Chains A and B, each alone.
Chain A
Amino acid sequence: KQEVTQIPAALSVPEGENLVLNCSFTDSAIYNLQWFRQDPGKGLTSLLLIQSSQREQTSGRLNASLDKSSGRSTLYIAASQPGDSATYLCAANPSGGSYIPTFGRGTSLIVHP
């Protein structure tokens, strides 16, 4: 059974720092991996989707990488801002069998001015 772990569980940084959030998964047979942002009491907002054949995806100040062989994905946030404060979740979608994505518990990020 797939397990997805996100480290660290919480992170507090000053504005302007470059950040790396980690997502590890135990089963490398994934179809794709998706990163989300969630603000308190809100739904999830899709940030980036990386297909299993890709190594990275970029959107603005965000860059996500995927290394299937080592079971890891990282989300890089450049020049962090207070508006980046939120919980970041990753989800691994399986490549075969029934479709049940596995979510990590998230990294809670606070960027202080």
Chain B
Amino acid sequence: DGGITQSPKYLFRKEGQNVTLSCEQNLNHDAMYWYRQDPGQGLRLIYYSQIVNDFQKGDIAEGYSVSREKKESFPLTVTSAQKNPTAFYLCASSQRERDEQFFGPGTRLTVL
């Protein structure tokens, strides 16, 4: 069953803590993306990767970091430098950049 998985579904972070969100796809897609969704706002791109070992910043990369060591995996770390991290985080992939995007189920991050 092909698709995109994200874990965990819910995540709680204390002040000053780094947390890592997982994103895995078995669609054999080259491109992967991380978005942030806040209530009443459109999705905003955090980082994207067109190929293994390469990634680019999106509109709101400050306070976040990513890696792309394997084609199927694109983890996102929310660092303590991100001052307002409470949001719904969505991972997506596409065959190549600008192709049809497919999304995972999301991770809801809450700062305690």
Taking CB atoms and an 8 Å cut-off, the chain A residues in 1-45 that contact chain B are: 4, 31-32, 34, 36, 41-45
Per the CB 8 Å criterion, the residue count for chain A at the interface is 24
Q: Chain A residues near B2 (CB, 8 Å)?
A: none
The reply to whether the CB of A89 lies closer than 8 angstroms to some CB of chain B is yes
Q: Chain B residues near A93 (CB, 8 Å)?
A: 98
Taking CB atoms and an 8 Å cut-off, the chain B residues in 30-73 that contact chain A are: 40-45, 48, 50, 56, 58-59
- Looking across the interface, which residue of chain A has its beta carbon closest to that of B108? A41
| Subset of 29 A-B contacts with CB under 8 Å | A31-B98, A32-B98, A34-B100, A36-B103, A41-B106, A41-B108, A43-B4, A43-B105, A43-B106, A44-B92, A45-B103, A46-B100, A46-B102, A89-B42, A89-B43, A91-B43, A91-B101, A93-B98, A99-B48, A99-B50, A99-B98, A100-B45, A100-B48, A101-B45, A101-B101, A103-B43, A105-B40, A105-B41, A106-B42
Interface bin, chain B: 20 to 34
- Looking across the interface, which residue of chain A has its beta carbon closest to that of B4? A43
The reply to whether the CB of A71 lies closer than 8 angstroms to some CB of chain B is no
Q: Chain B residues near A102 (CB, 8 Å)?
A: 42
Taking CB atoms and an 8 Å cut-off, the chain A residues in 30-64 that contact chain B are: 31-32, 34, 36, 41-46, 49
Report B112 CB to chain A, min CB distance, Å. Answer: 20
* B42 & A105 in contact (Cβ 8 Å cutoff): yes
